[in-house]
Chains A and B, each alone.
Chain A
Amino acid sequence: MGRTQPSFTTAVDAELEKLIRLSKRVGNPCFQNVILEASKRVRYFQNSMYDEVTDPQEVVLLAIISVLAEGLYNGRLRC
């Protein structure tokens, strides 16, 4: 980039870290699993959203939604 801008990947990781910390504190294993699964696929959402104007929260939320949607679709969304 022409100007120094904060790394988008670092910002996404910071959002994820926050959610992982939160899920541990909440102590809900189902929620924790969803967040962990979302963290595995978050980069692939970054890949597809690179050309768009987006913020890190949006990317993380979409990854979480995709985990929930997949669970719902497969009927595995039970804890």
Chain B
Amino acid sequence: MEGYVVDALPIHGGVTLVLDGFRKLKVKTTFPIYVITRDPEKVMEHPAVLYYEKEKWKDLDGKEVALYRFELSDMEAYYYIKKRLQVVNEIPTVMSQTLSRIGALPFRKVKVEGKVEEMYPEEFPTISYAFITPTNWYGPSPEGKTYFAIVNGKRIQGKLDDLDLRVDVAECYGIACDKVTASVKIKSKSAPVSIKGLIEWSLVSKTLLRELEGATIGKVLTTNEAWIALKRKVIIPKVVPRVEKLRTLNDIIASDKGGLVVFPKLGCYDNVSQLDFSSMYPSIIVKYNISAETVDTCEDLKTEIGHSICLKERGIVPEALEWLVKRKEDLKRVDEERSDAIKWILVASFGYLGYRNSRFGKIEAYELVTYFARKTLREAIELAREHKVDVLHGIVDSMIVKGDRVEDLINDIESKTGLRMKEEKMDWVILFPRKDGMPYPMRYLGKLNGGKMKVKGLVRENMPNVIKDFLEEAVDRMSKARNCKEVEEIRSEVEEIMEKYKTRIINGRKKQDYVMWVKGIPYIRGVRGFYIAERGYLGRDVNYYLDFLRRQFEVLYGVVNGVPNPR
């Protein structure tokens, strides 16, 4: 039998592999459990413990530890022992470790002829997958009568009663789950990625999709790091008691800062470039070997903020991230959705270094990353000055610049910082202010050279639908402008669009126009204040929506005619 591993279920004496197309097969195996104990013979008394081996492992500080690996015939024994003894290496999960040993990792193609054989580990599985959510008049609702679905990348919608779907993997919500037959159903998700992205996470973390249900990015990231630790025979404890070194408040203020922010020079600018460091934070972690076990252990590399880095041994975090950075770049050419899923892991990788419960993190390591990031961006800004390139805005790992020698600048920055940069040329960009007219980071609208628009910080999730529609149409109209002068010239056309939306708000033909989603709850602004749309449509406060619309128009055109006065 040949196919992709979609799921695996533990049974007595082995696992049942669920392959694509709802095919199942049993494979004999045992389940490992790592225990720190003085009396291994006592553990052997459990009938499900088959045998044990004593192994030499190291803890995160490099001290040698004697560890016993017991092989179990079923998972019940695993949970029984886990409750009673000091168990380590629980990440990667026992199922992941078991599947890894038999070479049948999730979503890998396997061929079973006597034994399981892994075939093409890197390709995306040719399985069927779908996202299904019931919908109501105001949008997604767990008890809606209609549905919206994306089946193998195709969007479909219809009446829920007519739905009968059979797929290998499904992400479904509410009553839509009853209408779907799937080997794995994901009913709760705290990940910011699609079902395809989740499959990619399952692939890279070698963890069953079922075990990622409800998991955060942290689990995927930690699992990736844990695989490196497991390979190196470094114990992964349940809790890492890491105490921060004693420092004065002034030391903390000096070292615990975020990335560098260069507030924007407000206004509209022609012919600019956006320069981004590719995966800056992960690249810094890899470049400077920043990991909990390499920071402040020896003084190979000293820094101004008082922390040092040991370069003698490769850190666990840099080793785990190096592979992910490469995979993200490779996938970018093949599949943007999968590349984005990896990007999320990389985004979390830095924050997780400073998270107190992180197994491979340390606050000092976290501070070093932001320190090097600030230093790198500051260096890039100084190089821009040398090249007579004007920096209009800069934030953490990105700059918006204007000048003639941008190509030379990029080459110079890359050779001096050792980090890769990517450039996006823009015909024009508008850098927006805050409500009170003060410069505000990451709020801009620009037209890329190819004609596509780049919008940041303008459209928010919690805006009413009608406002989102207005902004989309207005931005689409503005995309016709070739320069700032033309942006100003089409002001009257955008005003016309605004008038059209004013009429739409006053007429109130589409009640979903007034819905705004705040933390997953649909609200409408009524004359007596906000109410939840799930209670039914009870009218709207027209003036609230008209004000909202007018404010958005002012945001769009506020700075085009010169910089507004703050306050």
Interface set of A (CB-CB < 8 Å, partner B): 1-3, 5, 13, 20, 36, 39-40, 43-44, 46-47, 50-51, 53
Contacts and interface: CB of A to CB of B under 8 A. Distances in A.
B535 interface: no
Given A47-B261, A47-B263, A53-B250, A36 B374 contact: no
A43 B437 CA distance: 12
B256 interface: yes
Given A47-B261, A47-B262, A2 B567 contact: no
A59 to B, nearest CB: 12
A40 B562 CA distance: 14
Interface in B436-451: 438-439
B95 interface: no
Contact of B439 (A5, A43, A51): A43
A2 B263 contact: no
A5 B261 CA distance: 16
A44 B563 CA distance: 15
Contacts of A39: 438, 566-567
B367 interface: yes
A53 B258 contact: no
B28 interface: no
Contacts of A46: 263
Contacts of A51: 260, 374, 378
B256 A53 contact: no
16 contacts: A1-B258, A1-B370, A2-B256, A2-B354, A2-B363, A3-B256, A36-B565, A36-B566, A40-B565, A43-B263, A43-B438, A43-B439, A50-B257, A50-B374, A51-B374, A53-B254
B252 interface: yes
Secondary structure of the B side of the interface? Answer: mixed
Nearest to B436: A13
Contacts of A53: 250, 253-254
Closest 9 CB pairs of A and B: A43-B263, A2-B354, A47-B262, A43-B439, A53-B254, A2-B363, A2-B366, A1-B258, A1-B256
A44 B439 CA distance: 9
Nearest to B365: A2
Contacts of A13: 438
Given A2-B367, A3-B256, 19 more contacts: A1-B256, A1-B370, A2-B256, A3-B252, A3-B363, A5-B253, A20-B567, A39-B438, A40-B565, A43-B263, A43-B439, A44-B263, A47-B263, A50-B260, A50-B261, A51-B260, A51-B378, A53-B250, A53-B253
B566 A5 contact: no
A51 B257 CA distance: 9
Nearest to B366: A2
A54 to B, nearest CB: 10
Nearest to B250: A53
Nearest to B262: A47
Interface in B463-483: none
Interface string B345-361: 00000000010000000
